[in-house]
Amino acid sequence: MGRLLKLHTYLVLAFLYLPIAVIVALSFNQSRFGVRWTGFTWQWYVRLFHHHRIAVYAENTLIVAVVSTLIATVLGTLLALGLYRYRFRLKSALKFLIYVPVVIPDIVMGVALLLFFAWVRVHTGWLRLSLVTIILGHVTFQVAYVALVVRSRLAGLDPALEEAAADLGAGGYATFRYVTLPLILPGVLAGALLAFTLSLDDFVITFFTAGPGSTTLPLYIFSSVKRGVTPEIHALSTILIAVTTVGLLLGRALLRRR
């Protein structure tokens, strides 16, 4: 049993890393077509950097991720805090609303947002499909994740601590600023990290809410792949893999230090 389980583990790990290894290896392969190794080269990376729009796509992706993460972290943290502190009517309805973006298939959310933005545009002329609509869409699912992550951190918080702060003269804001926030900060940061990666990773919501001029890297990869596989995409993917891996390891290390 033990040996069999070990073999299974190694095989599944191989399965998990095979595609990534293939992409990384091929990004350095001289041959433009096929997968036969014909020699090492940097040329696909060089070409990628000369691609006139890649920098814009990367910038778009980052703008969306940073802005949406900032908004979602603030809203999600406040939401979790309110759910933790107060009892009110419609509380269970609100909790349900928070679970919805987490559990429904993303395509449903994508098309609903598309419909909504079109409806707003028809009636007001606002919300042309652009980076703004992508950000609005991303925040919508990120808020839910941040709220749930922060809420689990709040659940481990001794309620007497907030009471102690109030007892010592701290009002609602001071209690949050000097007691609650410092204690849930690891949860807030973990939520923000999750929101950020979800935004970087998202394709479906972006696909339905993007407009002309708001191409992000995932959208670019999608349209390129539909036209055929190229070594430049291998190079781009390798860079993205490296960035997310380093980012994730760094984020983990930071969170552990706290």
Interacting positions 185-244 with another protein (CB under 8 A): 197, 200-204, 208, 217-218, 221-222, 225-226, 229, 233-234, 237, 240-241, 244
Q: What part of residues 76-105 is at the interface with another protein (CB under 8 A)? A: 76, 78-79, 81-83, 85-88, 94-95, 97-105
Residue 60 engages another protein in binding (rule: CB under 8 A): no
CA–CA distances in Å: residue 141 to residues 136, 184, 211: 9, 21, 19
Is 231 in contact with 29 (CB distance < 8 Å)?
yes
99/112 Cα distance (integer angstroms):
16
Least distance CB 54 / another protein (angstroms): 15
Site for another protein, residues 61 to 80, rule: CB under 8 A = 74-76, 78-79
113-132: contacts with another protein (CB under 8 A): 113-116, 119
For 229, phi and psi rounded to 5 degrees? -80, 135
23 or 63, CB closer to another protein? 23
Q: How far apart are the first and last CA of the chain?
A: 39
- Binding part of the chain for another protein, among 38-46, 51-59, 62-70, 141-149 by CB under 8 A, reads 141-149
51 binds another protein (CB under 8 A): no
CB 73 within 8 A of CB 195: yes
What residue type is 110 in one-letter code? G
CB of 224 to another protein, least distance (A): 9
Residues 6+ apart with CB under 8 A from 170: 178, 179
Angle CA(145)–CA(16)–CA(232) in degrees, nearest 5?
90
Q: Which of 232, 200, 225 is nearest to 134 (CA)?
A: 200
Establish if 167 lies at the interface with another protein (CB under 8 A).
yes
What tokens appear for 235 in the block? 């190079």
Binding residues for another protein, rule CB under 8 A, total 108
Give the footprint of another protein on residues 4-23 (CB under 8 A): 5-6, 8-9, 12-13, 15-20, 22-23
Residue of 67, 70, 132, 166 that binds another protein (CB under 8 A): 166
